[in-house]
Amino acid sequence: GISFVNGSFNSFEGFIEGDLNSLENANIEFTVDAESIDTRIEPRDKHLRSADFFDVEKYPKMSFKSTDIEKTGDKKYKLNGLLTVKDVTKPVTFEVKYGGKIVGRDGKDIIGFTAKNSINRLDYNVAYDPDSKAIAKDVDLVLYMEFVAN
């Protein structure tokens, strides 16, 4: 594409199950409310919610479910799983940097990490401008996550 746009989803939820000291054995899932897209320009957000892009009336949620996690270095992991956008589910791998674990004010453990990946939006039927003249086909995904132990 000809320019770069940052955006975020303001409504989401997720969980991690397993031993917080051993991410390799964890299960991670999250969902995103597609309608909560926010690029700070409402006309663009409205277009992104339309059938040209996310078609939020038909596909209100996007989701990820981990299949396995592999330690690749000090505080580094590969998070493999299935990403669903619209009516398409595909395997993806996120590069993860583990931020660490602290004990919150309430005594519960909190862990944090960042996960990054790049996907081709056309693979998920987000096919507006398929020649990618104005809008790039590759979309960088960056997830900043914190989980609180129950």
Q: Is the dihedral of CA 83, 31, 59, 139 positive or negative?
A: negative
pTM of the complete model:
0.91
The two structure tokens encoding residue 80: 């493999």
* Structural domain range at position 62: 8-148
pLDDT tens for each residue of the chain, 150 residues long: 677 889 999 999 999 998 777 789 899 999 999 999 999 999 999 999 999 999 999 999 999 999 999 999 999 999 999 999 999 999 999 999 999 999 999 999 999 999 999 999 999 999 888 776 788 899 999 999 999 988
How many distinct structural domains can be found in the chain?
A: 1
What is the pLDDT, as a whole number, of residue 131? 76
Q: Check: CB of residue 12 under 8 Å from CB of residue 32.
A: yes
57/126 Cα distance (integer angstroms): 14
2 domain residue, yes or no: no
**Is residue 78 a part of any domain in this protein?**
yes
Question: 140: how many CB neighbours lie within 10 A of its CB?
Answer: 11
Q: Give dist(CA 98, CA 114) in Å, integer.
A: 7
Q: Is residue 85 exposed (0-12), middle (13-18) or buried (19+ Cβ within 10 Å)?
A: buried
Has residue 51 been placed in a domain? yes
- CATH number of the domain that 16 lies in? 2.40.128.110
Whether residue 14 is contained in a domain is answered as yes
From CA 102, how far away is CA 12, in angstroms rounded?
Answer: 23
Assigned domain for 1 exists: no
- Amino acid, single-letter form, for residue 30: F
